[in-house]
Amino acid sequence: MRLIVSAGGTGGHIYPALAMIDALKMQDPTVEILYVGSQRGLEKNIVPKRGIPFEELEIQGFRRKLSFDNVKTMMLFMKAVARAKKLIQEFKPDVVVGMGGYVSGAVVYAAERMGVPTVIHEQNSVVGLTNKFLSRGVDEIGIAFEAARSQFPAGKVTFVGNPRAQEVVQMHTNFSWQEFGLENKQPTVLIFGGSQGALKINQATIEAIEEFNKRDYQVVFVTGQKRYAGVLDQLNAEHILVGKNIVIKPYVNNMPEVLPHVAAIVGRAGATSIAEITALGVPAVLIPSPYVTADHQTKNAQSLVDAGAAEMITETELNGGSLLNVIDNLMADDVKRLEMERASKQLGVPNAADQLVSLLQKAISDRQK
């Protein structure tokens, strides 16, 4: 198989794409892959390090409000489509898959116009603008949330899950909490607001630390790289002591290794986080970011709440007291955590990457009939 993959902007698009690529290589070591990303996205730094051939396009997103900048966006889009057509003509892919981000819009659209089989994957419960635009022309659509099905044309949609889930499930490590200076036998809560940190989650955690000091569970508080120094400064300024059962980190590089060993996680409700949580069945307290398109994190989180796999706190409700109360209740109830674990695993798709690969193969075979 010859495959062009396009995904850009954030890790929520890039890492599922890489997980799918890894699954495809396991099935077919002879596969040839070209990854097409954007000049500004994270993929420019991440993908080449994986040894995957990489090409970049200059592109930017549309503004939702009327803006002259959208004229420039349209010009860049058409230029990117022309460049994508040349790449497709040269590489001659059997199928093109778009995993999200503005750059995938140009690449998949170019493939559609050239008669190449196309597939898109939607990681969120609320469909993004790019995938809405592409949906009528593509051959197949993979989704990670059933709530997305009704937002696409009928007859093209297959629930496959998020490929990142398979990558996390297959990871085997000899992790120990002693690496963090903690005890392996004590249950551990992980509080994580994302790679950059979340201001309100950090503030609520700071407010709760003096009470966390008194608990018999452990807390790993991940502040985000750029907020770490500020958190330590605030703790010092307010003379808040941090107990031996609490570790504060700017970031955790080996998150997939850590997650199987946490009793509960507190964090955002992005698509990749949800995929990892449900793949492993980690009981969760979700605090959706209200600053994302169409409030899709709230809808992501609600799907887990409805299934009994998570608790949710909105940012407007969030403070030290509400955070402590939800965590205390959860950590005091072993039966509830076990029920949440089971419910979460029922939502997870541990073979999601393989299922998406099958969808690519279906798009190719259907065209050959």
CATH of the domain at 283: 3.40.50.2000
pLDDT over 70 percentage in the chain? 96
- Whether residue 153 is found in the same domain as residue 206: no
pLDDT for position 364:
97
Of the candidates 333, 337, 336, 292, the one whose C-alpha atom is nearest the C-alpha of residue 315 is 292
Residue 11 marked as a ligand binder:
yes
- Whether residue 212 is found in the same domain as residue 271: yes
pLDDT at 48 over 70: yes
pLDDT at 336 over 70: yes
Residue 135 marked as a ligand binder:
no
- Whether residue 43 is found in the same domain as residue 127: yes
pLDDT at 200 over 70: yes
Q: Model pTM?
A: 0.86
pLDDT for position 64:
57
Mean of pLDDT values over 277-301: 93
pLDDT-derived band at 298 (thresholds 50, 70, 90) equals very high
- Whether residue 196 is found in the same domain as residue 142: no
Residue 124 marked as a ligand binder:
yes
- Whether residue 356 is found in the same domain as residue 323: no
- Whether residue 16 is found in the same domain as residue 96: yes
pLDDT at 66 over 60: no
Give the number of domains in the chain: 2
- Whether residue 80 is found in the same domain as residue 216: no
Mean of pLDDT values over 241-248: 96
- Whether residue 153 is found in the same domain as residue 241: no
Residue 195 marked as a ligand binder:
yes
- Whether residue 238 is found in the same domain as residue 195: yes
- Whether residue 158 is found in the same domain as residue 194: no
Residue 203 marked as a ligand binder:
no
Mean of pLDDT values over 84-111: 97
pLDDT at 65 over 80: no
pLDDT over 90 percentage in the chain? 80
pLDDT at 293 over 90: no
pLDDT at 343 over 70: yes
Residue 197 marked as a ligand binder:
no
* Cα dihedral 296→298→300→301 (10° resolution): 170
pLDDT at 60 over 90: no
169 domain residue, yes or no: no
pLDDT, tens digit, 9 for 90 and up, residues 111-167:
999 999 999 999 999 998 899 999 999 999 999 999 999 999 989 999 999 999 998
pLDDT for position 350:
87
| Cβ contacts of 322 within 8 Å, gap of 6 or more | 204, 313
Among 171-175, 244-248, 250-254, 316-320, the range scoring the smallest mean pLDDT is: 171-175
pLDDT for position 340:
98
Domain that holds residue 206: 177-347
Mean of pLDDT values over 81-100: 98
Over the chain, what is the mean pLDDT? 93
Note whether 309 and 344 are within 8 A (CB). yes
- Whether residue 87 is found in the same domain as residue 224: no
Residue with tokens 């994190």, as numbered in its chain:
297
